[in-house]
Every structure is written in structure tokens, then in C-alpha cells.
Structure 1
Amino acid sequence: MIKALKIIEKELSDVAFIDAKYRRGRVAIAKVSGEKVPFKSMGDGINRILYIILNMVNAQDGYLLIDEFENGLHYSVQKQVWEVIFTLAESLNVQVFATTHSSDCIQAFGSQWKDDEEKATLHRIDYKDKQHSVMPYDFFDLDDALSTNTEVR
């Protein structure tokens, strides 16, 4: 988990969950440059990664739905986050379903998929004439579409 969170905060060295003083539940605290910092004050990106990791652990031997994967994540870190997801999905036996409207997200997914061609698939859902249709892409279809700027979102 620390390695994944360092994608956003390089100086992070530890994570703890402590009892909240003024409400029920626990609060996530990070140790950054020797200081304790609440995750809530650290920004959307690192909180999004923490949320995804914790939910993947909870989904062990099952599946996880991630709506609008790119929310809170700068495009420059998305490939690294996909790498974390691919690794955790395999080690925890989690099937991940993620949605996006972002071409940057699809590009990052495709870059990671290139390294693990057998472990993923991409489907585009279209709605035309009051009918839904699904268009599956294999890695080569996606690679061709991305290299020619063909719409896959």
C-alpha cells in the first residue's frame, strides 16, 4: 500500500488508522516527512488510491466496481495506478470493472495492458436507436484505435 501511495506523495513512509475523537469510526493518518498528516487534508489523488486499494482488499476473491476511474487522478499517474490495480487484482483474485469517459485514462490503461495482454479487456458500450450494444476490444484493436485517434470512450 505504501508503494502505491508514494505514486502521489513521495515522502510518505507509513499509514495508520486511529480512532476518531469526535465521531464514530477510524481516521486514516499518513506519516509524511516524519509528520502525522490526516489523509483528508492530502488531496483527492492519494485518497482515491487509498480508497481503491482498501476496496480491492475487501473484494478479495470477488469483484470491484470503480466508477469514473480517473476522478481525482492526474493523467500523469494513471498508468502507475493501473499497474497497482493489475497487480492487486491478480494477487487478491479480484475482477475489476472500471468505467471512464477519459481518453487519458484509456491511454494509460492501454499502456499497462500492453504489459499484461491476457489479464484485461476493454468494452465500449454504445446506445443507438434505444438499444445498447457492446463492442469488445482486444489489445491490438485498442492499440490501433489509440494510434489513429479513433474514439473508444
Structure 2
Amino acid sequence: MNSHFKEITITNFRGFDSLTIKKLQRINIFVGANNVGKTSILEAAFMLSGMSNPFISNRINYLRTALLNNNIDSSRYLFHNVDFSNKPLLKGFMTDGKTRKITFAPVTSHNETDMSSSNSANQAIISQLNFEFGQEENGKGFTYHSKIVVANDGNTRQETDNGYRELLNALFIPVDKNDANATANFSTLVKHNRKHFVTNALHDFDPSIESIEALPDGLYLKIKNVKELLPISMGGDGVRRMINIISTIACEDYDIVFIDEIDNGMHYSAHKLMWRTILKFILTHDIQLFVTTHNLDCLMGLKNAMQEEDSLRKLTHVYNVAKTRNKGFQVYSYGYNELKEAIENEIEIRK
């Protein structure tokens, strides 16, 4: 059985000064108001999942927006309030009894303009990012080190700790409907004789889809009673999103998968089918799932899928992330019964 997260604590990361998320399940759905930090929670857990790879700090910024260059200086946005004195600390308590920990700090350089600024420390250029990480066992703390370094020629290189071997395999799927990514991933599945994972999942999602084919100019669908193969763009945004998600997950044997705004592009009528299809795949392949959504229809679809499948009820929790006036950031957990009651009584669980 794969090792999964039971609890995560986040300190001085992105918008969070401090946050603890307890009683994580196999399937974890994060909801809340805009800009409350749902995506940041996924990013923190993703960093913990791949803590030996220093370039993961660049990658999560790039996944959030390509406008942030995939370089070391964008790492400043990982520090709470963009303040380098707020040293991030991420901890994950795992089902195998171990505790994963990672922290990082910059080495900065200044120019004359920076030095004349009243906030020169945080306007400095990051020339190096140092990481400490490890799995806490028997009272031991951080035991490994890695770094990202900007060389004199401006190129960035990483220095990793060869003494650590990462056993977790994690995947982060951002908010997009990139057909090029879907085509590349599906082609990989064809080569490895894993095409049936996507075909079966799509058929569960829409029984009229009989097969999917990778042709030189992209992916095509075989639709029942339609003579020609149709490009996936003709299948609608929901089908494209499903192909992207399932083909990406199926490419490798992942332990943990993170999906930001899982319902992006989905019509409300497809939400129950989406959940039923993805949850079936997740359970079959022993994957822990973390997703975000801000769509009430998406939560209703989840409730309906759980209502029809008793096994999903014990494995799924919804977490409402909220910033309170007196206690700061808090997370409120909803199991099936609480979710069902909230929806049926029109109680707002996204604020």
C-alpha cells in the first residue's frame, strides 16, 4: 500500500502564516472563497511529495502562471508576505508513521538601486536558494540538503543530495485544457499498452464514446453511430478535461495526485459522472487525491456520486478553507453526512 498524507502543517508559505490540515483522507476536496489559499495547500503538499528536487519551487510558480518566469527569482513569492525573514516550514505526517519536513531560505545579492530602497532585503535578487529536508524518524530532524544556484553566466543549476532516495511519485495537474499535453500523454500510453485506462474511463464518463485514437494531427474520438472520427475539440470542454486528467494520471504509477480546479470546463450536468469516473480510477490504483473547486454544482455532483457509492463516503472529505477574524486561517472538515446536510439545507460551505 502506498504512503499517503494524514496531516499537513504549513508555516510562512504563500499567504499562510500558519495552517494545519488534519484527518486527510484518500480523496480530499478543498473549497473556499477566492484567494483564500486553496491552490497554495496543494502546492505545499506537492513540495513535500518531491522535497528532494529543488527545482520544484520554480515549477509550482510556473504551473500557477507562465507569466512568472521559470527561474529562481520567482521563489520570492513562496515566502509569506514576500518577506524573506518568514522562513517557510512544511511538514507532512504520513500513513507509514514518518514525518516529511522541508524548509528553505534564499541567498540574495543587491545592486545600488536595491540598497537605496527602504525595503532592500526583499527587493534583492535571489542568487541561491538553500533547502533542508528529511523524513523525521526516532527524533531525527533535517538530514539532507539541496540548493538552486545561479552561476556567473546567468544559468541556473541544481545541487541535490545523493544520499536521499525519493519513494513518493506525485503529479500536479494545473488549470488548463491543453490538447497538446493530452496528445503527448495519450501517445505515451499507447506505447506502453495502457491506452485502455483512458478508453474505459471515457466510456464511463460518456457511454457514447467507443474509443480514442492518436493520429498525427491530434486525438480523435470514435462516437457511437457517427461515421467519422471526431477531433477531441468536438467532444466539448468536459471531455477534453477528462482526457487531460486521466491520460496524465495513467502515464505513470502515481502515489499522490493534485488537481487544481478539477471542474474547469465542465458543464454542471457532467459533474457526477466526472466524480464517479475519477474516483473509480483513484481507488483502483491506490492514489491519494487532492483537488480544489469553488463550484457548488461540483460539490453537488460529488455528493450525488457518494450517495450512489457507499465505499466513497468513508474515503472522501471536503475541507472549507476560511480566514477568520480571531483565529486566522482555519480548515473545517465535512464528511458525507455533513456535506449532504449542508447542501440540502443550502448552507454556504465555500465562504
Residue from 202, 219, 229 that aligns with 1:28:
219
Count residues with an aligned counterpart.
147
Report the equivalent of 1:126.
322
Residue from 255, 267, 272 that aligns with 1:74:
267
Report the equivalent of 2:278.
85
The alpha-carbon deviation at position 43 of structure 1 amounts to 2.1
The alignment's C-alpha RMSD in Å is: 2.1
Report the equivalent of 1:61.
254
Residue type of the alignment partner of 1:151: E
Moved more, 84-93 or 3-12: 3-12
Higher relative contact order (CA 8 A, sep 6+): 2
Partners of 2:304 and 2:286 in 1: CA distance: 22
Which TM-score applies when normalising by structure 2? Answer: 0.39
Spell out the pairing of 1:1-153 with structure 2 (5 A cutoff). Answer: 1-6=198-203, 10-20=207-217, 27-32=218-223, 33-58=226-251, 60-114=253-307, 115=309, 116-129=312-325, 131-153=328-350
In structure 2, the CA distance between the partners of 1:96 and 1:85, relative to structure 1 (3 Å rule), is same
Identity %: 24
The alpha-carbon deviation at position 10 of structure 1 amounts to 5.0
The alpha-carbon deviation at position 98 of structure 1 amounts to 1.4
Structure 2 contact 204–277 (Cα < 8 Å) conserved: no
In structure 2, the CA distance between the partners of 1:134 and 1:109, relative to structure 1 (3 Å rule), is same
Structure 1 contact 7–77 (Cα < 8 Å) conserved: no
The alpha-carbon deviation at position 90 of structure 1 amounts to 0.8
SS of 2:244's partner is helix
Q: CA offsets per residue over residues 56-89 of structure 1, 9 Å max, x none?
A: 2135332222222222111111111101111100
SS of 1:141's partner is helix
Partners of 2:263 and 2:221 in 1: CA distance: 23
Structure 1 contact 63–96 (Cα < 8 Å) conserved: yes
Partners of 1:108 and 1:11 in 2: CA distance: 21
Residue type of the alignment partner of 1:124: N
In structure 2, the CA distance between the partners of 1:12 and 1:143, relative to structure 1 (3 Å rule), is closer
Residue type of the alignment partner of 2:349: V
Partners of 1:141 and 1:54 in 2: CA distance: 33
Structure 1 contact 57–92 (Cα < 8 Å) conserved: no
Moved more, 61-70 or 140-149: 61-70
Report the equivalent of 1:24.
none
Partners of 2:272 and 2:205 in 1: CA distance: 12
Which TM-score applies when normalising by structure 1? Answer: 0.83
Tell which structure's C-alpha radius of gyration is larger: 2
The alpha-carbon deviation at position 11 of structure 1 amounts to 3.7
The alpha-carbon deviation at position 7 of structure 1 amounts to 6.3
- Point out where structure 2 has 5 or more consecutive residues left out of the alignment: 1-197
Greater percentage in helix: 1
Q: CA offsets per residue over residues 75-129 of structure 1, 9 Å max, x none?
A: 1111111011111001112211111111111111112123221121111111234
SS of 2:229's partner is strand
Structure 1 contact 107–146 (Cα < 8 Å) conserved: yes
Partners of 1:135 and 1:73 in 2: CA distance: 26
